[in-house]
Amino acid sequence: MNCIIRPCMVKDCKVILQLIKEIAVDYKVPPTDVKVTLEALREDGFGARPQYDCYLAELPPGETNKEGGSIVGYVLSTYTYSAWKGRNLYMDNLYVQPQFRGRRIGKQLLEKAAQVSMAKGCCQLRMHVGNWKANEMDFLAHHGGEDLTAKECWTLFRFNEDALRRLAARSTF
């Protein structure tokens, strides 16, 4: 039997935090580098001004993962705005636990994110993936995603907290 895909609820945040740490390991980032807290996930997802949407993949009754739980994947996304195109949905994480890969769970999560983005009037769905992740890049391409680095030479920049603080301190307006 297939997983069900359902919205994340506040009670699921603990498991989501665990899966966020797993995807960090998948990206060879130590789990200690994951700074988001359970409180932040609860407040930012379910507080007065929600900052993200999250959908989960839940195993059918009777099946569990090796931790004895039933949630084996998730997609977490936020809304961004393109001055050229308008509203976008940005998928920050799309993840399925390794032992459950190849069962079309990732595809169902991606389809859910696409459905949500259409329902919310977005014209694009975006995400970043490490360019050493050939399997994930092929997965995204197979489902219609375009590699913007290869196609349009876009490079991703990030201002970390130190750089951000320096810039902000220089602002005179």
Q: Dihedrals φ, ψ of 114, to 5°? A: -65, -40
Of residues 34, 38, 35, 115, the one with CA closest to residue 75? 115
CB half-sphere exposure, 158, CA atoms < 13 A:
4
Contact with ligand COA (CB under 6 A): which of 17, 21, 24, 26? 26
Contact with ligand COA (CB under 6 A): which of 85, 104, 120, 166? 104
Interacting residues with ligand COA between 66 and 95 (CB under 6 A): 94-95
Binding status of residue 45 toward ligand COA by CB under 6 A: no
Binding mask 135-154 for ligand COA (x = CB under 6 A): xx-xxx-x------------
**CB-count burial class (<10 Å; 0-12, 13-18, 19+) for 137:** middle
Binding status of residue 103 toward ligand COA by CB under 6 A: yes
The amino acid at 154:
W
Report the interface residues with ligand COA, using CB under 6 A. Answer: 23, 26, 94-96, 101-107, 129, 133, 135-136, 138-140, 142
